[in-house]
Copies of this chain bind each other. A is one copy, B any other.
């Protein structure tokens, strides 16, 4: 049994929808345990995040998938507070050799989401983790209309909230499929390692 943990922050709820899709894809692989851990503002005191239960869960994971909205051109402060709190784990090389992947959301097609994904990749590199990219090319380039990787991102999954401002978030069906496929890819590679 391999353990995949998806740790993410979501403000409006859109990134949570992406996280659910990643989980669905990972669960489609037999013998895979999938946990969703949502970072909350309550875990942050004076800009510092603390939640020992989350860190314990991550310590025993085979793969960690990181998710955050893109706010002002980067990972949300809430996600970053979580990342900053892993300094001791970093020092002890606690996550070294684990698998990593990532996803992010915003309202525009591009919206500087690559800045966030590059940060997640650097963060995983700091921990000595192996980065699993979003593996599919834009399906439109091969004549398909399923919307897989419709935005054209490889470092991780980019999802665009297509809901109107002030209404509940809407996850594009192509973005949902892309997220599922990333979850499946992570779980598949976890079984091989």
Q: How far is the CB of A39 from chain B (nearest CB, A)?
A: 8
CA distance A131 to B131 in the complex (A): 5
Chain B residues with Cβ below 8 Å from A90 are: 72, 137
A124: nearest chain-B partner, CB-CB: B133
Question: B73 to A80, Cβ gap below 8 A?
Answer: no
Out of B72, B109, B140, which one reaches A126, CB within 8 Å? Answer: B72
From 109 to 152 in chain A, residues with beta carbon under 8 angstroms from any chain B beta carbon are 109-115, 118-119, 121-126, 128-138, 140-141, 149-152
Number of copies: 4
Out of B48, B119, B140, which one reaches A41, CB within 8 Å? Answer: B48
Question: A84 to B76, Cβ gap below 8 A?
Answer: yes
A71-B83, A111-B152 given; name 11 further pairs at CB < 8 Å. Answer: A72-B87, A73-B125, A108-B149, A109-B150, A111-B151, A112-B152, A121-B125, A122-B155, A130-B132, A130-B189, A131-B133
